[in-house]
Structure 1
């Protein structure tokens, strides 16, 4: 079945929340936040909106690559954050690309960049459009003749597979599911599964230094890169394919996380892994959240490296896994292509019990190529994890404020950070007159610290939810910055995080980054306003 991508919200139109799922979602929301106005508001037809006419004309030699279709432009105007969804619901499309171009080769990308450099046209590289930080939105001051969105979906091939070295040369526009479909017959996997997996691309993961689903070891896309090829207005950069090198600063590290400001990533050699055969999982309940955090730290520092080590605080466990626990729930999993995982699973369970954890059901494991039946909580969490963005959209259309923010900190600072963020969120909710709940979970854990991921669920006022969220977001971002945590662990900087990113990075590095942009993008056309000003 061919599905239709939603222009205004997450994913596919056919997969939106409806029926029993919608009834249960609204029931739970009403129970959590009584007297909430959950009347539905429908998105407008973009053809009915007063969207600015294109200001640029694609040269005849490139005209076959361009689209000025109004719906196509509207779909490329925003990412998929809460504030993007709300603006779309209200028909607020004041920043729309003039043209969408879809190159299918590096030569066409070079020609497009040459044209835009000569003509003072801003270029925003577009992968799957799943940015949640304003990274693909043409929201910047004037001074440009126009803006194009360069959609790279046509560069979607796996060009080579090196089974001996377990690596593949992959074009940047390939989406997650399509990539895994090609690798599966060879018994290989990239093993990078962000929540946006179905609707994001390799190039997007690289450009934003994306974090995947797994909690330890290969958590960021950085860990999986052998070499990269990038087209810049000043020329093409291609690093040598190596397992490692100490030859000066890494060119790949310059482009990883550059968010389309220094060049257009066109392909990369990526490290692969054998597809796992042995799996095991367990769910542990705690009566005290501090003890749950201590148990998670013990696991992270034990050198056991679980595949999944996701700590849900009591509110997160109840809202998204339907599980009541006074101190939180720790969802654990192991997998291996080489050996049974039972001893490692047994050891983390032992560590959890040392910290007062209890198991409502025994650990599950398998020695077959088939995945084990997951535990009830982990199954509920996985289903909820995949449906979260769709449910967010349904609630956003019903005047709810539903959004997340994430960070990373050292273990010794987590308690103070958690308290500061909770106070900032609660004070901000009160200041915008919104009754709500703050949740927290760990998405990734390191020996020296966790990556806390917070969620806000609040009853807003239709027409004001964007302003309410912006005030909450500013307050919690200040709390993160003041606590010495990062403004983002894996959601990138974009335009929304710039004020706090500017404070986080060293001034001398900012100067070096501006110099690099000046050398690689002399006309300053690539994603203006992201990371650094031209």
Structure 2
């Protein structure tokens, strides 16, 4: 018996079949109506991409590459945007001013080489594309001065080529989606154990190119820590770093391409560090009456050396909206796991640290088969549905989006206050009413990664402009208080103004020189990380 495959949404998150509908939608809209009496909650259906009258493709591929290329309107529309709130809303309005002329699907690394060679000669921009889950404009062909733009979809490069069980590593092609990667690793008993929220709809190459963060809230939080070596194709040639557990031989070649967002080369393969699948688990949810005390407890755990797999602090608003739990301070969701030994003692010590700061255990699981329950289970279910619910709210004219940062513990109180104030002021000014929430997605010994949510009343036809004003206000507050403009959402085109101010000038000059060397014609993802540089005249 075969399972019917699902249909990816061209305009919004995930699968069409998994969209918010029926009782779930009625309950969601009902909650909004209760919170915002009088708000216009008219639902707006997404347009048919075939009816959008997209401009014809401006470029034609050489005959040798024609079989890899698609100019189908629905295909082009589906590759024109990422999955941010502003992407979804523009799609709902049929606003596709920037679309790829062609979608190119290489079947081999040599195809990637040939595509870059053609585009370099023809002055065609190339936007590398994994799963398309970017939320910062990273896959949008928003370029000028080029003969055209193509999206290089690596989805056909989706295999685990080999597994080195002795060293616990695997050579993996970059276009593999998260679930397919884990499915191929399962027979070996090993796992990459990297589960971002976009896991189902994002690829290894995308994780590497954006320095994605995943499952673990401590220790190996970013994909960087799981990389053993990379293989990258650039217009200047193909390079592969040596497989090593560590090296002090100069600046790391891998670090040059991790986070480069397709501007320096196309990652085609990587050797990734694996681990045995966990067998021992334990978890708990801890309530706090005071938010500063909850923050202090989380910091104490982050600095304890216990290294929980999950250590997510939800403020009162986040806890209520996404778990239904009413608290005055917040809820800390904790989880430990191991393939080697029981973790009950580690959980007990973490809970003890929480109690030292006034925390009270709300629910707890322990033992070899301990799984999330209670608040943790409610949070996980809500977490997985958040993007679908965001789309449903966008359709009725709400402004619903997130932004994240990271800072040191000594700066968190001031940053949190400034960002909250900036968000609330902007929401009042442009929306009239709304809520801002905060949770920690990851914690380090020297600081947290706060992740904020905005839920605000919108005006259909103006919600992108409303969000852009809120986003600018909070980004300025983050920059002014020592935070990073992005912890794990990458830079793309949307974060460029603040990224340009965050990075040191000598580094920007060095990155510009590297770009000119590896991509002389400036065709790779123009405008991301660096200013767009139109190709030289033929």
- TM bracket, shorter-chain basis: over 0.9
Aligned partners of 1:222 and 1:256 also within 8 Å: yes
- Equivalent residue runs for 1:57-456 within 5 Å: 57-140=60-143, 142-361=144-363, 363-367=364-368, 371-456=369-454
Q: Aligned partners of 1:55 and 1:478: how far apart in 2?
A: 38
| CA–CA separation in structure 2 for the residues paired with 1:63 and 1:84 | 29
Matching residue within 516, 521, 524 for 1:523: 521
Q: Does structure 2 retain, via aligned residues, the 8 Å contact 1:213–1:443?
A: no
Task: Tell me how far apart the structure 1 counterparts of residues 527 and 432 of structure 2 sit (CA, whole Å).
Answer: 32
Report if aligned partners of 2:431, 2:457 keep a CA contact under 8 Å in 1: no
Matched position secondary structure for 2:269: strand
Deviations 1:360-407 (A, max 9, x none): 23x21122xxx4242210000000111100000000001000000000
Unaligned runs of 5+ in 1: none
On the 8 A contact 2:280/2:342 being kept in 1, the answer is yes
3-state SS of 1:474 partner: helix
Q: SS in structure 2 opposite 1:366?
A: coil
Deviation at 1:34, TM superposition (A): 3.1
Q: Distance in 2 between matches of 1:346 and 1:305?
A: 13
Q: CA-to-partner distance for each residue in 1:435-492, whole Å, 9 max, x for gaps?
A: 1000000000000000000000001010110100000000000000111100000000
For structure 2, the 5+ residue unaligned runs are 534-538
CA shift for structure 1 position 431: 1.6
State the match for 2:536 in structure 1.
none
Q: In structure 1, which of residues 27, 45, 52 is the aligned counterpart of residue 48 of structure 2?
A: 45
Question: Separation in 2 of the partners of 1:26 and 1:291?
Answer: 34
**Conservation of the 8 A alpha-carbon contact between 1:288 and 1:327:** yes
- Is the contact made by 2:228 and 2:273 (CA closer than 8 Å) also made in structure 1? yes
Cα distance per residue 1:28-66 (max 9 Å; x no partner):
222333332222100111111131110000110100000
Q: State the shift of 1:528 in Å.
A: 0.2
Q: Which moved more, 1:13-22 or 1:74-83?
A: 13-22
* Aligned-partner SS, 2:443: strand
Q: State how far apart, in whole Å, the 2-side matches of 1:34 and 1:508 are.
A: 53
* Alpha-carbon distance in 2 for matches of 1:31, 1:172: 46
Once the two structures are TM-superposed, the CA of residue 433 in structure 1 deviates from its matched residue by 3.2
CA root-mean-square deviation: 0.8
SS at match of 2:396: coil
C-alpha separation between the residues in 1 aligned to 2:33 and 2:230?
49
Partner of 1:471 in structure 2? 469
Give deviations 1:9-40, integer Å, cap 9, x for gaps. 00000000011211221222223333322221
In the alignment, what sits opposite 1:481?
479
1: distance between equivalents of 2:227 and 2:510?
23
- Partner of 1:374: helix, strand, or coil? coil
Q: Secondary structure at the match of 2:370?
A: coil
Deviation sequence 1:279-298 (CA, Å, 0-9, x none)? 00000000000100000000
Could you list the per-position Cα deviations for residues 290-330 of structure 1 after superposition, in whole angstroms to 9, with x for gaps in the alignment? Answer: 10000000000111000000000000000111111110000
The partner residue of 1:512 within 493, 510, 513 is 510
Q: Does the 8 Å contact 2:283/2:371 carry over to 1?
A: no
What's the secondary structure of 1:360's corresponding residue? strand
Q: Distance in 2 between matches of 1:439 and 1:162?
A: 43
Per-residue CA deviations over 1:487-509 (Å, capped at 9, x if unaligned) read: 00000000000000000000000
CA distance in 2: counterparts of 1:144 and 1:527, whole angstroms: 12
Give the Cα separation in 2 of the matches to 1:23 and 1:379. Answer: 22
Contact 1:487 1:501 in 2 (8 A): yes
Q: How many residues align?
A: 529
Q: Which residue of 2 aligns with 1:497?
A: 495
CA contact (8 A) 1:175 1:197 kept: yes
Which 10-residue stretch deviates more, 420-429 or 497-506? Answer: 420-429
* d(CA) in 1 for partners of 2:405, 2:30: 31
Write the distance in 1 (CA, Å) between the matches of 2:340 and 2:129. Answer: 38
Identify the range of structure 1 (14-23 vs 76-85) with the bigger mean alpha-carbon deviation: 14-23
1:462 counterpart residue number: 460
SS in structure 2 at match of 1:204: helix
Give the whole-Å Cα distance in 2 for the aligned partners of 1:434 and 1:113: 48
Instruction: Quote the Cα distance in structure 2 between the aligned partners of 1:331 and 1:486.
Output: 24
2: CA distance, partners of 1:32 / 1:272: 46
Equivalent pair of 2:281/2:371 in contact (CA under 8 Å): no
